[in-house]
Structure 1
Amino acid sequence: MHSPRSSELEALKRRVMKLESELDSLQIGKPTRERLEVMSDVVVDSNPYSRLMALKKMGIVKNYEEIRRRTVVVVGIGGIGSTACEMMARCGIGKLIMLDYDKIELANMNRLFFCPEHVGQLKTAAAARILAKINPDVIYEPHDMDVTELAYFRRFCQILSTGGLCGQKVDLVLGCVDNYQARSSINQACLETDVPWYESGVSEDAMGGHIQLIIPGLTACFECVPPLIVASGIDESTLKREGVCAASLPTTMGVISSLLVQNSLKYLLRFGKVGFYLGYQALLDFFPSHMIHPNSECRNSWCTKRQLMCREQTERNPRLAEQFDFCAKNKLTGSDTVHHQENSYGITVEGSSCDVEEAERLPAGLNFLHPRFSAQDRQEDAFQQKGTSEDACPDWYRIESLRRQLKEL
């Protein structure tokens, strides 16, 4: 039996916890260091950007500091979205706008980013506080809103149109939601405002996922090739069963959010080859990649309008779609060299030449039914068929045979 004193003590403890939570909510991420106005490439332990700016020194990114002038919107601060926000913050994005309406639950603890002490808090507010301590240089703008509701949709479009650092359009939207209705809302808003966005998701069994870059008019929108549920007009809520929930693995969430942010950086900073659609099948470690072209008969009038505008631009610039292959555009010439501060061991990177086998390689996602033989393998077979003795075999044949036997072990 509890005494009145112990009951009063428990009540006081709960009161203290509530006050601490309220105080924490008022301090939107008290900075742990002074804000830095400029990204420095000086290699010192006190510089949080030295490793990021090394990408510029190595010739990977020509202008990494431009990340500070970019604005990204993340819709859905769940398993993928929260991790994506953290990666964007650590990469030094200029402004990060976060939209969600949900609160953190203990059921979310199998994912990354949030901790048990955040249970009960709004996802957007908690994320802003956590991220501000990780990188106070980023401008965080949390919004507690449901983009599927008509009352918030116009506000969402306004954010996309004027949410940039200087009041301009945002640079990119990351759709990290878990339902088709929210995806359709993001798709509609981005079509109306002409803002590119990445759609992302993880399968219900947590064994796969995907990301898809949607550029209004240039690529297929979410309604061009809709999932069966969307095309059939089925209400998603009718598919849910009592006591049954989707599986969730932090590993799969981490893979998809990493692919999402990696390709977002390539798109924002114009380097590498941007992935338009990239899938992930965890059981087979399979990564299909391709581009989904827009549907000329898309039922969304805004999509067909953007397609028409894009076709007019393509007539003036036939290689419009190739502009996102920055890897081809930014190939290093003979005069371009990669600079390193130190290279004590004289390490160099040699260029690779394309041989016949490289040229005959199948597109991503396709495999030969039977293993193929290289020219050298065919030569080895010729020696074996002629009954050539081991002593008569050339040195490369014996060495390659030993290598193959080692690999089989």
Structure 2
Amino acid sequence: MALKRMGIVKDYEKIRTFTVAVIGVGGVGSVTAEMLTRCGIGKLLLFDYDKVELANMNRLFFQPHQAGQSKVQAAEHTLRNINPDVQFEVHNYNITTVDNFQHFMDRISYGGLEEGKPIDLVLSCVDNFEARMAINTACNELGQTWMESGVSENAVSGHIQLIIPGESACFACAPPLVVAANIDEKTLKREGVCAASLPTTMGVVAGILVQNVLKFLLNFGTVSYYLGYNAMQDFFPTMAMKPNPYCNDKNCRKQQEAYKEKKAAQPKQVVVEQEEEIVHEDNDWGIELVSEVSEEELKAASGPLPDLPKGITVAYTIPNKEENVVAGETTVAESEESLEELMAKMKNM
């Protein structure tokens, strides 16, 4: 509510009217769901098929006594205790299977806060390309805006990406090498090496993701189309990618055509160049005051400049008291007449 008082957000209460789906309730997804719950989101849909393990305890959110429970059930229990005003809908299944994929699309289309209405935003917090491609396929077909996120296998970098079908590049437009080359990502896993996970990196990525979710839903600030994070140099690269007209996803190409038609139908804004009006702060008559003292005279009337290091300048200088005569001016000659004689002359004038 302070954001509203400070003029950042026009109506923060509107957050209660939005529905967000979080796919993948792991290191990033669980923290994302918690932040949205604490922010007062209207409804959360949680999708995951994994169980809580003790190996997950180096991450945030989950607790040891929840080991063995499904992640969505454990998350729902914790989140309800944090904010009971939020509506929760959990689905404990793999969205990439044929049967579950159709149900997943139905919930995106009809699982809004008002049943039968579409949800407002989909957040991908999964850890594999197969699930990302499934989300990409569903959102392209439905024209659903979504945000993708991820943390690298070495746990020291991550990213978020806003994907608006037809307007920005989808996940298949500029796919990772694994997807582009049709490589089975399971074959890339190094034997005996498991993906690292730092709660710090995941917390940073989740925070950036939710920050952009709030900006997108409440319409303030600038939403990043792509924002990376490299913990080794604290580097945050950002960019925007246009959709690929030759994308392999046919629904992406359809969305691109629909977006072009929409843009063409919008009335073109004619920019009229107006002459800049000269405004004088000191008066209402357009009178401009110009100094009669030149730059050279000002320098002559100023005191000596101190010896300063390179790149540092003084804001002003103290006038030199010894030199009361401004360069270029002449002094009045002293008169030998007395004061009485001068006064008499003035009376006769």
Same fold (TM over 0.5): yes
Instruction: Show the 5 A alignment for 1:191-206.
Output: 191-206=140-155
Number of residue pairs matched? 280
**CA–CA distance in structure 1, aligned partners of residues 40 and 124 of structure 2:** 20
Given the two structures, how large is their TM-score scaled by the length of structure 1? 0.66
**CA–CA distance in structure 2, aligned partners of residues 247 and 101 of structure 1:** 21
- 1:297 aligns to what? 246
Structure 1 residue 104 corresponds to structure 2 residue 67: no
- 2:195 aligns to what? 246
* Structure 2 gap segments, 5+ residues each: 270-302, 315-349
The CA deviation at 1:101 is 0.2
Q: What does the per-residue CA deviation read over 1:7-64, in whole Å, with 9 as the maximum and x for residues that have no partner?
A: xxxxxxxxxxxxxxxxxxxxxxxxxxxxxxxxxxxxxxxxxxxxxx111111000011
- 1:212 aligns to what? 161
Instruction: Show the 5 A alignment for 1:4-403.
Output: 53-166=1-114, 167-317=116-266, 392-394=304-306, 400=312
**CA–CA distance in structure 2, aligned partners of residues 102 and 118 of structure 1:** 13
* Structure 1 gap segments, 5+ residues each: 1-52, 321-390, 403-409
Flag the structure with larger Rg: 2
The CA deviation at 1:176 is 0.1
The CA deviation at 1:248 is 1.0
- Paired AA for residue 68 in structure 1: R
**CA–CA distance in structure 2, aligned partners of residues 393 and 283 of structure 1:** 45
- Paired AA for residue 155 in structure 2: A
Q: What does the per-residue CA deviation read over 1:190-245, in whole Å, with 9 as the maximum and x for residues that have no partner?
A: 11111111000011111110000001100000000010000110111111233111
**CA–CA distance in structure 2, aligned partners of residues 236 and 191 of structure 1:** 23
C-alpha spacing 1:56/1:231, structure 2 compared with 1 (3 Å): same
C-alpha spacing 1:399/1:211, structure 2 compared with 1 (3 Å): closer
- Paired AA for residue 87 in structure 1: M
- Paired AA for residue 98 in structure 1: L
**CA–CA distance in structure 2, aligned partners of residues 116 and 295 of structure 1:** 45
**CA–CA distance in structure 2, aligned partners of residues 173 and 135 of structure 1:** 21
**Aligned alpha-carbon RMSD (Å):** 2.0
Q: What does the per-residue CA deviation read over 1:157-182, in whole Å, with 9 as the maximum and x for residues that have no partner?
A: 00000010112110000000000000
**CA–CA distance in structure 2, aligned partners of residues 155 and 124 of structure 1:** 17
C-alpha spacing 1:319/1:221, structure 2 compared with 1 (3 Å): farther
C-alpha spacing 1:294/1:93, structure 2 compared with 1 (3 Å): same
Bigger proportion of residues as helix: 1
**CA–CA distance in structure 2, aligned partners of residues 399 and 103 of structure 1:** 60
**CA–CA distance in structure 2, aligned partners of residues 62 and 190 of structure 1:** 29
The CA deviation at 1:300 is 0.5
- Paired AA for residue 116 in structure 1: P
- Paired AA for residue 89 in structure 1: T
Given the two structures, how large is their TM-score scaled by the length of structure 2? 0.77
- 1:405 aligns to what? none
C-alpha spacing 1:395/1:134, structure 2 compared with 1 (3 Å): farther
- Paired AA for residue 100 in structure 1: D
For residue 213 of structure 1, give the secondary structure of its aligned residue in structure 2: strand
- Paired AA for residue 261 in structure 2: E
The CA deviation at 1:317 is 3.4
